[in-house]
Structure 1
Amino acid sequence: MTPDYDLLVVGDANPDVVISGAPRRPAYGQREELVDRGELVLGGSGAITACGAARLGLRTAFAGRVGDDAAGRLVLGMLAERGVDTRHCVIDERPTALTVVLVDDGDATGGGGRAILTAPGCLPYLTAGDVPAALVQASRHVHVSSYFLQPGLAAGLPALFREARQAGATTSLDTNDDPAGEWRGLDEVLKEAGVLLPNAAEAMAITGEPGIERAVRALAARGVLPVVKDGAAGALTWENGTVVRVSPPPAPAAEFADTVGAGDSFNAGFIAARLRGLDLARSLGVAVACGSLSTRAPGGTAAQPTWNEVRTP
């Protein structure tokens, strides 16, 4: 029987308020400062990944929690507009999560020019039990985002991944940042996840290794396939006992807006390429292209590419 969905994304969805041209240290004391631009866009690593996958042609479902409020309705509407099935989202009595992203000029070079402030709202209350078994069984691949923002989900994630694998699906995890800076509790879930999709800083934090290539090796030794984003330098993975690196395609500077959600578009590209049968190196190239092209417009979803824009011969 053909699965109903190519991809099931389980994770976070919320509005992002992206403020560009923000000062590194906003002035308190009721002083008003003017910035270059403000955008209200779809946020959440899971939601952006789901939209990127749908844009690439995957039949995509999203399972998460949003509040019964204006922010929740906005999120669900934005996902649906981009072709993502949201019928399995839980409507929570708690408020929808909300993120404010402050972007300065350093973001153009990957120099850490972003500050991210998130009110988690209902995110911590998502659990593996909120994801119907029939939905997992109807999906070719299950991707989970924002591990540390969702402790309820994290507790049941190893079992959810096992359930997916037993149903014949492949799996992946993007932990995203750990706000507590502790990076604990990953041992069991990494044994069950097929692919881990961190950025360079996250990979080094998870492993405790001081360099990105050493972190890739350490993750591979733990039985998971590491696919590590390295900003303007591209990305790395592990194949046949060696580190494989792919550089990003050249892009005109005039097209750059910000890097918000670029890593999530990268995730979507990698998953889409693998589900289309591309080998590991070519899949990494598609992922890097997806992340790079997504920076052409503010926010995470406005410039996500189609498959025709990124496919390689």
Structure 2
Amino acid sequence: MRLSPSDPPDSTRAFDLLVIGDANPDVVLSGAPRRLAYGQREQLVSGGDLVLGGSGAITACGAARLGLRVAFAGRVGDDAAGRFVLDALSARGVDVTHCVVGPRPTAMTVVLADGQDRAILTSPGCLPDLTADDVPRGLARHVHVSSYFLQPALAGGLPGLLAEERAGGASTSLDTNDDPAGAWDGLAGVLPEVDVFLPNAAEAVAIAARLADQPLPVEQAAARLGALGPLVAVKDGAEGALAWDAGRIVRVPAVPLEPVDTVGAGDSFNAGLIAARLRGLDLRECLRVAVTCGSLSTQAAGGTAAQPTWKEL
């Protein structure tokens, strides 16, 4: 893999990347049972970790680990969980001066992991309160948005926010993550303002089916989404990743590693792809960097503990 130039280009902007989105503590329980025993029965699991979670937070940390100057804009509560989040982001080199501390509680997530599969239970807390007005403009060369469906107030103002950033010379990206409601609405209005769309395969298929009124295989789904304007980079699990760009499909294989914990692997993929694009690498190399970042991040518990540096790639 040709990883050059070694440093991001200089810029007059304060940051290379602004991440807008979710940040919360994750309680990750490994070896969780497939069926929970209610009736106040206690079940034992093989391991547990308290780690930094949230797609936006993990992406921000991964990008900082890769050498980018990163700022995070989101909301946390004035509580112990919020202080944990801000301290964890700051410790990983992410600027949090644009994160709003508000009266509602910080979001909290419990991840029940069973091998490579997992169930995710989230209390959204203050996440729905984030709006486009909370987000500073003109701060970074690239603006990334995470967890679209967990932040409905932000979603309403997102097309205008991203259009404004693009008009000012920034590039943009979006990872919707899952839609708890399963509706997948609203994206036709925002994707034309997105330079890079970063779904996983299941999300790409679901969103394209909503737009096309019929199910499509993943490559056709990527093409349907790309027809709205963005480069579409799809995380495809054991198959690696694929991208649709201006009518062509590019695929790269997965990295053959045995995962310890897959939580946050897609967010580390996002960080790798953004960092590679900002360094001017071509599409195939961007995908290879992204897949490698996602794969290496699975080698420790939680989403940030095993994120690689640029040199380690």
TM-score of the aligned structures, taking structure 1 as reference length: 0.94
**How many angstroms apart in 2 are the aligned matches of 1:241 and 1:56?**
30
What is the CA-CA distance between 1:250 and the residue it aligns to? 2.4
- Tell me the residue number matched to 1:120: 124
Correspondent of 2:102 among 87, 92, 107: 92
Q: Distance between the aligned counterparts of 1:221 and 1:126, measured in 2?
A: 29
Gap regions ≥5 residues in structure 1: 108-112
Name which of 191, 208, 216 aligns with 1:210.
216
Is 1:266 the equivalent of 2:269?
Answer: yes
Secondary structure of 2:225's partner?
helix
After superposition, give the CA deviation of every residue in 1:258-293 in whole Å (9 maximum; x if it has no partner). Answer: 110000000000000000110111001000000000
2:310 is matched with 307
* Equivalent in the alignment of 1:276: 279
In the alignment, the residues of structure 2 paired with residue 240 and residue 211 of structure 1 have an alpha-carbon distance, to the nearest angstrom, of 18
Name the residue aligned to 2:3. none
Would you tell me which structure has more helix in proportion to its own residues?
A: 1
Matched with 2:72 is 62
Query: Does residue 131 in structure 1 map to residue 114 in structure 2?
Result: no
Residue 31 of structure 2 is aligned with which of 1, 4, 21? 21
Preserved CA contact (<8 Å) 2:232 2:245: no
Deviation at 1:166, TM superposition (A): 1.2
Query: Which letter maps to 1:117?
Result: L
Q: How many Å separate the matches in 2 of 1:202 and 1:174?
A: 10
| Structure-1 residue corresponding to 2:182 | 181
Cα distance in 2 between the residues matched to 1:138 and 1:114: 35
The reply to whether residue 219 of structure 1 matches residue 216 of structure 2 is: no
Measure how far apart 1:210 and its partner are.
3.0
The yes-or-no answer on 1:160 pairing with 2:161 is yes
Counterpart residue type for residue 18 of structure 1: V
Report the equivalent of 1:110: none
Gaps of 5+ in 2: 1-10, 210-214
CA distance in 2, matches of 1:246, 1:4: 33
Q: Over residues 144-171 of structure 1, what are the superposed CA-to-partner deviations in whole Å (9 max), with x where a residue is unaligned?
A: 0000000010000001101111111000
Report the Cα distance in structure 2 between the residues aligned to 1:33 and 1:191, rounded to whole angstroms: 48
Shift of the alpha carbon at 1:308?
Answer: 1.2
Distance in structure 1 (CA, Å) of the matches to 2:163 and 2:245: 24
Structure 1 residue 249, shift from structure 2 partner: 2.2
Shift of 1:240: 4.7
RMSD: 0.9
* One-letter code aligned to 1:53: A
Which position in structure 2 is the counterpart of 1:11? 21
Letter in 2 for 1:299: G
1:55-84: per-residue Cα shift (whole Å, max 9, x none)? 000000000000000000000000000000
- Alignment of 1:249 with 2:250, yes or no, is no
Q: Which residue of 2 aligns with 1:230?
A: 236
Shift of 1:248: 1.7
SS in 2 for 1:309: coil
SS in 1 for 2:12: coil
Aligned residues: 298
Structure 1 residue ranges (4+ consecutive) displaced by more than 4 angstroms after TM superposition: none
TM-score, normalisation: structure 2? 0.94
**Aligned partners of 2:21 and 2:74 also within 8 Å:** yes
